[in-house]
């Protein structure tokens, strides 16, 4: 994993985390309780989304991108 992408959408109250390139998304599977996983064509989990996740009052937006080193 080279990048970890974390994004929060205030309007939708959703938190999305990508472990791999979002362009590789092929399958989306809802697990229940507002949790969705995204998989590649090879059935590898490459990300997840948590719906109904409101931020604390006063926080407007959250985006974080982490780069890992070998």
Each residue of 11-69: pLDDT tens digit? Answer: 888 999 998 999 999 999 999 999 999 999 999 999 999 999 887 776 666 666 666 65
Closest CA to 50 of 3, 18, 2: 18
Q: What pLDDT does residue 3 have?
A: 76
The structure's pTM equals: 0.77
Dihedral over alpha carbons 15, 19, 24, 28 (to 10 degrees): -50
**In the structure, what pLDDT confidence band is assigned to residue 7 with cuts at 50, 70 and 90?**
confident
Q: Hey, where are the domains in the chain?
A: 3-55
């Amino acid at each position: 994993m080279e990048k970890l992408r974390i994004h929060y959408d205030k309007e939708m109250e959703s938190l999305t985390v990508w472990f791999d390139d979002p362009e590789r998304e092929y399958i989306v599977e809802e697990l229940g309780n507002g949790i969705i996983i995204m998989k590649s064509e090879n059935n590898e989990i490459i990300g997840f989304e948590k719906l109904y996740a409101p931020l604390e009052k006063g926080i407007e937006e959250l985006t974080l991108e982490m780069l890992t080193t070998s």
